[in-house]
Amino acid sequence: MSSDVSATPTPATESTADIVIMGAGAAGISVAASLRRRRPSLSITIVDPADTHYYQPAWTLVGAGEFDAARTARPMSSVIPNGVTWIQAAVTAFAPDHQQILLSDGRRLGYRYLVVAPGLQLNWEAIDGLTDTLGRNGVTSNYRFDLAPYTWSLVRDFKGGNALFTQPPMPIKCAGAPQKAMYLSAHTWRQNGVHNKTKIEFHLVAPALFGVKDYIPALMEYVKRYEISLNHLSHLRAVDGERRVARFEIFDADGQSQFVDKPFDLLHVVPPQSAPDVLRASPLADAAGWCEVDPATLRHARFANIFGAGDAISAPNAKTAAAARKQAVVVAENLLAAMDGRPQPMHYDGYGACPLTVEHGKIVLAEFGYGGKLMPTFPLDGTKANRIAWMLKKYVLPKIYWDVMLRGREWLAQPSRPGHR
């Protein structure tokens, strides 16, 4: 259940809790709410420095003029579940052998169980010149709250020219979001009569348009309809905003590369992403920097009193809010079982969802689990564009997020139990 608006951060004093949750994003809040619903007597502390909680899946719609940015942000105090303590600080180090985390305010916080749910780190500075020009010179990104409205202003007022859209190496949060922005922009330009004066290019590092092959035919129909030039194995390396030139490193099949400068009138950038630096440098990380968990139980591979959820874990699922919705239930059930000395009762099946907005009013609803197994929730053919999925994305899912998922109401979120598929 969500807290009242009077919730305030706890001052920095030494303390311990039954359960400490690192991160107050979709995964962290959902885990806390699910735990509170199951066992209200637990002392739970969430650690997060942010003062605002965002519904990030709607930023694609904000960038297309379909959603009000203000409706995607709420005070963090309003989403912290009742009875949960919030410490407004960052985690600076992990000490799992001592069952403690170190905080940016200098304190040590002890725990019986720890849930690691910090989300992803967006590495804007990894692209030379990008931070100097974001939000001006036609350079934008729907991956930032303050920039999604700028995306719409650029798209709405576009008179033609070169429009470049980029996608960095995987994994990233919502792997379909880079092309969602492209399709919605292209559809707007067709409606505004400037499509025939526009050259659209999609530069993506991946060798395939989407990670699950079943959805590619429907997406390719729109690539052809909008006359989009696909450029695979293409890395954005630098941006010169004043000159409006983007530099790409493009690889061939043999791994050889060359640098190519592309002029642009609009550049939509998705930055490289990783686990947060504090996690990457910690004993909890695997070789790639992710919180190393069992992909089924979401329990840490080496520390039995640590669980992980959300975008920063090592499980090979799509990093989406829909995944966090399912993971929260698995972590809540399995953590309580661990506390009670019982076997792990729940298995996460890798479920994730990516509503691919291919035009205003239509979506290819990609729902899949581990290994690319299709896992539709509704009786819809998600491999084809449809209007019902658009209605879900724009009108239903935001309400489910704020009023159901963050309050521990686990609608359509029950995972599988071992042996019961």
Annotate 325-360 with DSSP letters as a single string: HHHHHHHHHHHHHHHHT-----B----EEEEEEEET
Q: Using an 8 Å Cβ cutoff, are 139 and 267 in contact?
A: yes
Q: Does 354 participate in catalysis according to the annotation?
A: yes
Q: Does 174 participate in catalysis according to the annotation?
A: yes
Residue 291's nearest CA partner among 302, 274, 279 is 279
Given the residues 306, 354, 364, 392, select the one marked as catalytic. Answer: 354
Q: Looking up tokens 């491999």, which residue turns up?
A: 383
CA–CA distance, 383 with 77 (Å, rounded to integer): 39
Residue type, 283: P
- Rounded to the nearest 10°, the torsion over CA 98, 99, 101, 106 is -50
Q: Is 343 exposed, middle or buried (0-12, 13-18, 19+ CB in 10 A)?
A: exposed
Is the torsion defined by CA of 296, 301, 303, 304 positive or negative? positive
Count CB neighbours of 189 within 10 A.
22
Residue 17's nearest CA partner among 138, 89, 115, 160 is 115
Residue 336's nearest CA partner among 31, 12, 26, 127 is 31
Residue 188's nearest CA partner among 160, 162, 209 is 160
- Asked if the bond preceding 345 is cis, omega within 30° of 0, the reply is no
Given the residues 69, 174, 219, 400, select the one marked as catalytic. Answer: 174
Q: Using an 8 Å Cβ cutoff, are 254 and 228 in contact?
A: no
- Both tokens assigned to 54: 């965002």
Could you list the active site residues?
174, 354
